[in-house]
Chains A and B, each alone.
Chain A
Amino acid sequence: MIFWEIAKRNIRTHMLRSTLAMLGIVIGVVAIASMGILGNSLVATVSESLSSVGDSVTVSPYSGGGGFGAGGGTGGGSSVNLKLSDQNFQQIKRAVAPNVAIPVLSTSERMKVGVGSDDIVATIYGVDPQYIPDLKLVLTAGDYNNGNSGCLVGSTFAEDHNIKVGSRISIGSDGEKGTLRVTGIIEERGMSFDLSTDNAIVATQDWFDNTYNRNDYDQIIVKVKEGQDTADVKTLIEKQLNKRDKIVSVMDSKATMNTIYETFGTVTTFVSAIGGISMVVAGVSIFNIMMMSVNERIKEIGIMRSIGTQKKEVMSMFIYEAAIIGVIGSIAGGILSIVAGYLISALMLGSTKYLITIANALSVGEAICFGIVVCLACGIYPAWQAANLNPIDALRHE
């Protein structure tokens, strides 16, 4: 239709002005979409790290305040001796059956790797070897059959200290707590709610009991079978153990993961909202340009109205103009935001493997739609004003 053609030609006639308006929209779309891509990629990266532990319920002694008191390694210098008894373990085991309850001991300890090496400090877990498959510890080298003085080590720990299958680690400042022989290297697990093995050693429970003279536990990990809800298992444990006094803290990994996702979602929304400010600025620029366009063409509008152009047709001409700027600017911004998302993911997350996802496509799509909507919204008032000009006054305008 002729009004579409007039809108196109007006944009071409004022190419610099229109390009600058489009540039504003491009920046706005890139800001929103690339932040969305970064957030989505972050969530995807964390999800991958956490997915293998999403079926865990971790029980720790109640420490009075926080919930995860005896999680990773409290044995060394802890002034409060919070432990779980074997009776607690048996109660939990009965409560959660047929799910598997895994007792875990842990401590931080000095150790030496190789003769003449410096002391290092790392976490040592004590786990009964029968539960290793339940913990889903995947080995990149060696095997689980580690015997009493055998141990598994995390991949980061192995890499940092040049440890291989067969290496020996002296436990204690002077090796007074014996030597562990490495039988397997555990694949990197990233963030974890149960055992954080990447920088740790997993020894047998027997070795741990004998070495540290322990008959209690630091935490009990319940691996929830498929089809069952971790929240239900958590409730069962709390009902069983926290009947009178609160003696244990129970962490539902799925709920925690959801909280983490929600937090990431909030952060992503917040960061995108900051990006949205640039879109608001772009919108103001579009509004300004559309008002200029109307003011420059008042007489033309008067002529149009006098020879029989309806108000809605005058309005459509300016809406088309805003739409063209919005669509071109937003699509260009969408394309550039993929490039920006690629660069940001590569630089900040070190990986771009989550760039092409439905969530990211949605983020880009939403930003494009938002850009177009902002342009249209900012074009409506000038268009309405143009349509409602008094034709006589408009004709007199110089």
Chain B
Amino acid sequence: MVFKDVVKVYPLPAGDVTALDGINFKVERGEFISVMGPSGSGKSTLLNLMGCLDTPTSGDISISGTRIRDMSDVELTNLRRDRIGFIFQYFNLFPLLNIIENVTFPMMLKSQKTVDPEKGKEVLRSVQLDDSLFTHTPVEVSGGQQQRVSIARALINDPDILLCDEPTGNLDSKTGAGIMDLMTELNRKGTTIIMVTHDPNIAKYSRRTIRIADGRIVE
């Protein structure tokens, strides 16, 4: 993934707000990067652009050589589905679906039909979730377990990049450490991980840190 002179401006009634101002960086396959910075520095905007949820006002973002500016909404949605995995601070599981259905949801989007739950079970086991919880709904399991389900859902379509927004921000330190060990393990197996965090202790798990302030990369 390559960011080249990326600028993101939000036009607001009170005046334009520049969230990102000339961002340049490159993410190599297999990297584990943490993005740090104070509130309002542009971290979330950066994550949204990396996740193809938004497009830059100017500059280019390329993923495997393809410029996202040239892609339609349908193509961007397919890109998110097939090549990007999202892990959120508040887990964001679907309350109407049980755990196995939550995990296989992106698979169903991809195949457009009912899928074999076996792969979902495999991925859930790989994130150390007990088989007995597979048919439970998200509210019936703990926060740590929900985050594991969220990670499993992000991994189900074998994405190139995992984007994590404060993945441990809603967990106690012990459970958070468990989640970070799991992510380190995933990165060791080759998954590219980009993680937004406030917590320097969590950022230590990454191999590179991008610090951002006032919409610019500072180091």
Chain A contacts to B: CB under 8 angstroms:
1-2, 5-6, 9-10, 13, 299-300, 303-311, 313, 391-392, 395
Report B-chain residues with C-beta under 8 Å of the C-beta of A307: 80-81, 86, 105-106, 109, 153-154
Report A-chain residues with C-beta under 8 Å of the C-beta of B97: 2, 5-6, 9
Given that A6-B96, A13-B96, A308-B78 are contacting pairs, would A391 and B53 also be in contact in the complex, using a CB cutoff of 8 Å? yes
Chain B residues with a Cβ closer than 8 Å to the other chain, count: 30
Within the complex, the shortest CB–CB distance from B115 to chain A, in Å, comes to 9
B170 within 8 A of A: no
Report B-chain residues with C-beta under 8 Å of the C-beta of A9: 96-97
Do B82 and A299 touch (CB < 8 A)? no
Q: Which of A10, A299, A306 contacts B51 (CB 8 A)?
A: A306
B14 within 8 A of A: no
Within the complex, the shortest CB–CB distance from B17 to chain A, in Å, comes to 14
Within the complex, the shortest CB–CB distance from B124 to chain A, in Å, comes to 16
Within the complex, the shortest CB–CB distance from A140 to chain B, in Å, comes to 69
Bitwise interface map of B from 88 to 118 toward A, beta carbon under 8 Å scored 1, else 0: 1000101111000100011011101110000
Report B-chain residues with C-beta under 8 Å of the C-beta of A310: 74, 77-78, 109
State the main secondary structure of chain A at its contact with B: helix
Report A-chain residues with C-beta under 8 Å of the C-beta of B78: 308, 310
Within the complex, the shortest CB–CB distance from A9 to chain B, in Å, comes to 4
Within the complex, the shortest CB–CB distance from A67 to chain B, in Å, comes to 69
Do A392 and B105 touch (CB < 8 A)? no
Q: Once A and B bind, how many residue pairs between them come within 8 Å at the CB atom?
A: 65
Instruction: Tell me, in angstroms, the Cα distance from A161 to B113 when the chains sit together.
Output: 78
Do A2 and B48 touch (CB < 8 A)? no
Within the complex, the shortest CB–CB distance from B214 to chain A, in Å, comes to 20
Instruction: Tell me, in angstroms, the Cα distance from A5 to B105 when the chains sit together.
Output: 12
Do B96 and A308 touch (CB < 8 A)? no
What are 6 A-B pairs at a CB distance below 8 A?
Answer: A2-B97, A6-B96, A307-B86, A307-B105, A309-B77, A391-B53
Within the complex, the shortest CB–CB distance from A173 to chain B, in Å, comes to 87
Chain B contacts to A: CB under 8 angstroms:
48, 51, 53-54, 73-74, 77-78, 80-82, 86, 88, 92, 94-97, 101, 105-106, 108-110, 112-114, 153-154, 157
Do A308 and B77 touch (CB < 8 A)? yes
Do A311 and B73 touch (CB < 8 A)? yes
Do A309 and B109 touch (CB < 8 A)? yes
Within the complex, the shortest CB–CB distance from B130 to chain A, in Å, comes to 24
Report A-chain residues with C-beta under 8 Å of the C-beta of B95: 300
Instruction: Tell me, in angstroms, the Cα distance from A10 to B94 when the chains sit together.
Output: 11
Q: Which of A13, A303, A305, A395 contacts B77 (CB 8 A)?
A: A305
Do A306 and B53 touch (CB < 8 A)? yes
Do A299 and B92 touch (CB < 8 A)? yes
Do A306 and B109 touch (CB < 8 A)? no
Report B-chain residues with C-beta under 8 Å of the C-beta of A306: 51, 53, 80, 86
Instruction: Tell me, in angstroms, the Cα distance from A54 to B166 when the chains sit together.
Output: 85
Q: Which of A308, A392, A395 contacts B109 (CB 8 A)?
A: A308
Do B48 and A392 touch (CB < 8 A)? yes
Excluding A303-B92, A306-B80, 8 further A-B contacts by CB distance (< 8 Å) are A1-B108, A2-B108, A300-B94, A305-B77, A306-B53, A306-B86, A307-B86, A311-B73
Report B-chain residues with C-beta under 8 Å of the C-beta of A6: 94, 96-97
Report A-chain residues with C-beta under 8 Å of the C-beta of B81: 307-309
Instruction: Tell me, in angstroms, the Cα distance from A93 to B155 when the chains sit together.
Output: 96
Report B-chain residues with C-beta under 8 Å of the C-beta of A305: 53, 77
Instruction: Tell me, in angstroms, the Cα distance from A118 to B113 when the chains sit together.
Output: 86
Residue of B nearest to A13 (CB): B96
Instruction: Tell me, in angstroms, the Cα distance from A223 to B54 when the chains sit together.
Output: 83
Within the complex, the shortest CB–CB distance from A215 to chain B, in Å, comes to 91
Within the complex, the shortest CB–CB distance from B120 to chain A, in Å, comes to 12
Report B-chain residues with C-beta under 8 Å of the C-beta of A1: 108, 112-114
Within the complex, the shortest CB–CB distance from B43 to chain A, in Å, comes to 13
Instruction: Tell me, in angstroms, the Cα distance from A395 to B165 when the chains sit together.
Output: 12
